[in-house]
């Protein structure tokens, strides 16, 4: 079993640079706002707001630091891997499903199997469909479409299906059950989601890298979001395609050998995973007890604790997934992630974890608590007039002339510009990098990249207050003891009527109106500053409905729009054929295979 290894110089420098950028930005924002608040006399609410600004700015700068580090590094394959070297290890490709559309899911498996068939190593890869479906009608369709998948791909003894009667432990328990029953037959396992798609050559290369470095326990790829149709989905898809590779490079540099696991589109060494990643149920009821929901980061930490390398190879291509098509579906998925990340507060103190993994858990918790800092700052600003000391225009005894407080408005403006800069500058720098390096041609050219980047920044600014409210509600629900469960993902077109959008966001409208009204009554000078937050909240049903509609604009063009990967084209053809055909019938000569 591998042991602990010293941190490389590049990792230490990257971490140090990210912390330095974040601390300097946070300290600057803290002192600047403190000076602004002290202009008319320092009070307790000025200190509270300064502390909230410090925490919020640190978090924003931490994200910007990822981009800056990523811009100064380049993706490259590991030096110890021989290109085209043969592989020999047998690999299980796990596809956990939970109330998914089997036609769409199994068409992806058929396309990946066809892509693997174009390599010399298809016989080393087996697919295992691991069903946790609770809906009996969907489960019946799974069995029928599985038989069609077997027939069309000649998949007996290569493609397997089993459905658990009890879905203990959800996805993590589903995978654990497979490893307990069949894991000894495989050296590696590629873990996918129901919406994952991966090129055959990419899977072969992942095995090649695992075999070239026996101390790797997990290798994570960078999935690219594809097939978005709605305005919201396409904006997210464009942002992911253009910006995520740079942010991921920065993350990979800082993580080093204790990299992330995002739960899918990754390969694990079965022995390492089985020996290191057993997940007990946490004591007490959900949301903080019960099964570990965000199991992926925990499993990465357990592998690192055991001395295995967990690495993000951001140079790998051919790894794809699909994303939510509207704000409501995004918020539903985010609610589950929120509960899982806050649940890590029960795990962060587990014995033996590496310090960086503990920090990653804290970072995940902060990613959901951070919106509360901004909301708290807004509420504290509205309440500030009640705590401000009375103005004393004659502080010097017997001095006949009044002394007026200095106008520190420029400091507030400078602080606002700096905070918006932390949000906007990294994406603008990435767009410039894409234009200067030629990467922009994959997105339709430099002009389209620049216009799309600016449009995405506007889009993010409008939707940010709505997302802030959804995240705030999620945190409050979890802290109040409400279990969000594991809702089924909506893989449809995502279109929402205005009525549906109102149903999901009317409470945001209410809070927007109340907040704006309270500001007008108690702190009217803050109204112009609050409008960029309050207006999107008040208009949230219109924004949610509008952004869920299909986009017909050339904005947000991504490389997969211009040149779909062969495995994507294959899946589209298979899915189109299957959807146009009749429901498959059970064939007596084919039995459902179990693993």
Structural domain contains residue 347: no
Does 536 lie in the same domain as 459? yes
Q: Domain boundary residue among 547, 567, 586?
A: 547
Does 377 lie in the same domain as 298? no
Greatest Cα pair distance in the chain: 106
Does 501 lie in the same domain as 381? yes
Whether residue 255 contacts residue 312, with contact meaning beta carbons closer than 8 Å, is answered with: yes
Q: Which tokens is 141 given? A: 């369709």
Helix (H) or strand (E) holding 127: strand 125-131
| CA torsion through residues 394, 395, 399, 401, sign | negative
Domain around 472:
9-73+368-387+407-547
Residue 318 reports pLDDT greater than 70? yes
Does 213 lie in the same domain as 172? yes
Average pLDDT over residues 13-28: 92
Is 484 or 338 the better-scoring residue by pLDDT? 338
Does 256 lie in the same domain as 383? no
Average pLDDT over residues 415-426: 79
Q: Which tokens is 501 given? A: 């959008």
- d(CA 154, CA 114) in angstroms, rounded, equals 11
Residue keyed to tokens 């409210």: 469
Q: Which tokens is 95 given? A: 């596809």
Q: Which tokens is 245 given? A: 């590779």
Structural domain contains residue 119: yes
Q: What is the pLDDT of residue 333?
A: 93
Nearby residues of 111 by Cβ (< 8 Å), 6 or more positions away: 197, 567, 568, 570, 571, 574
Q: What is the pLDDT of residue 4?
A: 56
Does 256 lie in the same domain as 137? yes
Average pLDDT over residues 515-525: 91
Q: What is the pLDDT of residue 590?
A: 43
Number of domains in the chain: 2
Does 511 lie in the same domain as 411? yes
Q: Is the pTM of this model over 0.85?
A: yes
Q: What is the pLDDT of residue 591?
A: 44
104-141 pLDDT, tens digit per residue, is 999 999 999 999 999 999 999 999 999 999 999 999 99
Three-state secondary-structure class, residue 160: strand
Whether residue 590 contacts residue 147, with contact meaning beta carbons closer than 8 Å, is answered with: yes
Nearby residues of 267 by Cβ (< 8 Å), 6 or more positions away: 91, 188, 189, 190, 191, 203, 206, 207, 210, 218, 219
Does 149 lie in the same domain as 31? no
Provide the pairing of β-strand 188-191 with 266-269. antiparallel
Confidence band of 595 (pLDDT split at 50, 70, 90) = low
Does 130 lie in the same domain as 38? no
Structural domain contains residue 86: no
Confidence band of 383 (pLDDT split at 50, 70, 90) = confident
Q: Which tokens is 572 given? A: 């589209």
Q: What is the pLDDT of residue 399?
A: 58
- d(CA 228, CA 322) in angstroms, rounded, equals 7
240-294 pLDDT, tens digit per residue, is 999 999 999 999 999 989 989 999 999 999 999 999 999 888 999 999 999 999 9
- d(CA 176, CA 168) in angstroms, rounded, equals 10
- d(CA 66, CA 72) in angstroms, rounded, equals 10
Residue keyed to tokens 């971490």: 15
Does 96 lie in the same domain as 68? no
Buried b (16+ CB within 10 A) or exposed e, 431-450: bbbbbeeebbebbbebebbb
Q: Which tokens is 191 given? A: 């873990």
Give the lowest-confidence range in 348-352, 381-385, 539-543. 381-385
Structural domain contains residue 591: no
551-563 pLDDT, tens digit per residue, is 988 899 999 999 9
Other Cβ atoms less than 10 A from the Cβ of 387: the count is 13
Q: Which tokens is 303 given? A: 């592998």
Q: What is the pLDDT of residue 404?
A: 45
Average pLDDT over residues 57-76: 90
Structural domain contains residue 400: no
- d(CA 350, CA 347) in angstroms, rounded, equals 5
- d(CA 207, CA 205) in angstroms, rounded, equals 5
Structural domain contains residue 84: no
Does 122 lie in the same domain as 59? no
Q: Domain boundary residue among 326, 342, 359?
A: 326
Structural domain contains residue 241: yes
Q: What is the pLDDT of residue 423?
A: 81
* Nearest Cα to Cα of residue 440 among 565, 316, 562, 317: 562
Nearby residues of 493 by Cβ (< 8 Å), 6 or more positions away: 229, 230, 325, 550
Partners of 190 in the β-ladder: 93, 267
567-594 pLDDT, tens digit per residue, is 999 999 999 999 988 666 554 444 445 5
Confidence band of 73 (pLDDT split at 50, 70, 90) = confident
- d(CA 142, CA 148) in angstroms, rounded, equals 10
Structural domain contains residue 338: no
443-488 pLDDT, tens digit per residue, is 999 999 999 999 999 999 999 999 999 999 999 999 999 998 777 6
CATH number for the domain harbouring residue 104:
3.90.550.10
- d(CA 248, CA 70) in angstroms, rounded, equals 7
Does 109 lie in the same domain as 32? no
Any idea how long the chain is?
A: 595
- Provide the mean pLDDT of the chain: 90
Q: Which tokens is 271 given? A: 């022995």
Three-state secondary-structure class, residue 194: coil
């Amino acid at each position: 079993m591998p042991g602990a290894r010293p941190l490389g110089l590049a990792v230490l420098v990257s971490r140090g640079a990210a912390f330095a950028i974040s601390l300097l930005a946070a300290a600057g924002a803290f002192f600047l706002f403190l000076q602004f608040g002290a202009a008319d006399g320092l009070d307790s609410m000025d200190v509270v707001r300064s502390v909230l600004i410090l925490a919020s700015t640190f978090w924003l700068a931490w994200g910007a630091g990822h981009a800056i580090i990523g811009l100064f590094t380049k993706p490259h394959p590991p030096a110890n891997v021989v290109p085209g070297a043969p592989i020999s290890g047998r690999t299980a490709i796990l596809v956990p499903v939970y109330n998914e559309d089997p036609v769409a899911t199994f068409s992806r498996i058929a396309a990946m199997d066809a892509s693997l068939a174009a390599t010399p190593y298809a016989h080393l890869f087996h697919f295992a469909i691991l069903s946790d479906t609770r809906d009996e009608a969907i489960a019946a369709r799974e069995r029928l479409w599985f038989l069609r998948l077997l027939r069309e791909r000649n998949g007996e003894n290569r493609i397997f299906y089993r459905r658990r009667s009890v879905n203990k432990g959800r996805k993590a328990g589903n995978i654990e059950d497979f490893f307990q029953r069949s894991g000894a037959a495989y050296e590696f396992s590629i873990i996918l989601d129901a919406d994952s798609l991966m090129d055959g050559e990419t899977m072969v290369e992942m095995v090649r890298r695992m075999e070239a470095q026996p101390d790797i326990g997990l290798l994570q790829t960078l999935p690219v979001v594809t097939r978005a149709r709605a305005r919201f989905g396409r904006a997210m898809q464009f942002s992911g395609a253009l910006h995520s590779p740079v942010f991921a490079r920065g993350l990979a540099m800082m993580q080093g050998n204790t990299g992330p696991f995002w739960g899918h589109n990754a390969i694990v060494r079965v022995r390492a995973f089985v020996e290191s990643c057993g997940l007990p149920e946490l004591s007490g009821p959900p949301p903080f007890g019960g099964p570990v929901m965000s199991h992926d980061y925990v499993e990465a930490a357990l592998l690192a604790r055991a001395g295995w390398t967990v690495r993000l190879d951001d140079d790998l291509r051919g790894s794809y997934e699909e994303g939510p098509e509207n704000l409501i579906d995004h918020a539903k998925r985010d609610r589950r992630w929120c509960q899982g990340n806050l649940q890590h507060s029960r795990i962060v103190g587990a014995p033996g974890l590496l310090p960086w993994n503990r920090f990653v858990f804290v970072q995940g918790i902060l990613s959901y608590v951070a919106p509360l800092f901004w909301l708290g700052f807004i509420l504290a600003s509205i309440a500030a007039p009640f705590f401000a000391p009375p103005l004393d225009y004659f502080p010097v005894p017997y001095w006949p002339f009044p002394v007026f407080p200095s106008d520190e408005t420029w400091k507030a403006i400078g602080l606002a510009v700096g905070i918006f800069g932390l949000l906007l500058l990294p994406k603008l720098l990435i767009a410039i990098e894409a234009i200067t390096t030629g990467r922009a041609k994959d997105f339709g050219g430099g002009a389209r990249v620049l216009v799309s980047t600016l449009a995405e920044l506007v889009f993010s600014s409008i939707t940010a207050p709505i997302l802030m409210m959804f995240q705030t509600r999620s945190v409050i629900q979890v802290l109040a003891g409400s279990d969000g469960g594991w809702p089924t993902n909506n893989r449809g077109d995502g279109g929402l009527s205005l009525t549906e959008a109102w149903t999901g966001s009317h409470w945001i409208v209410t809070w927007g109106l109340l907040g704006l009204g309270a500001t007008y009554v108690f702190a009217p000078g803050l109204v112009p500053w609050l409008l960029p937050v309050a207006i999107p909240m008040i208009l949230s049903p219109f924004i949610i409905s509008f952004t869920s509609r299909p986009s017909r604009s050339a904005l947000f063009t991504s490389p997969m729009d211009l040149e779909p990967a062969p495995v994507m084209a294959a899946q589209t053809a298979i899915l189109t054929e299957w959807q146009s055909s009749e429901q498959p019938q059970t064939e007596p000569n084919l039995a459902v295979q179990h693993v």
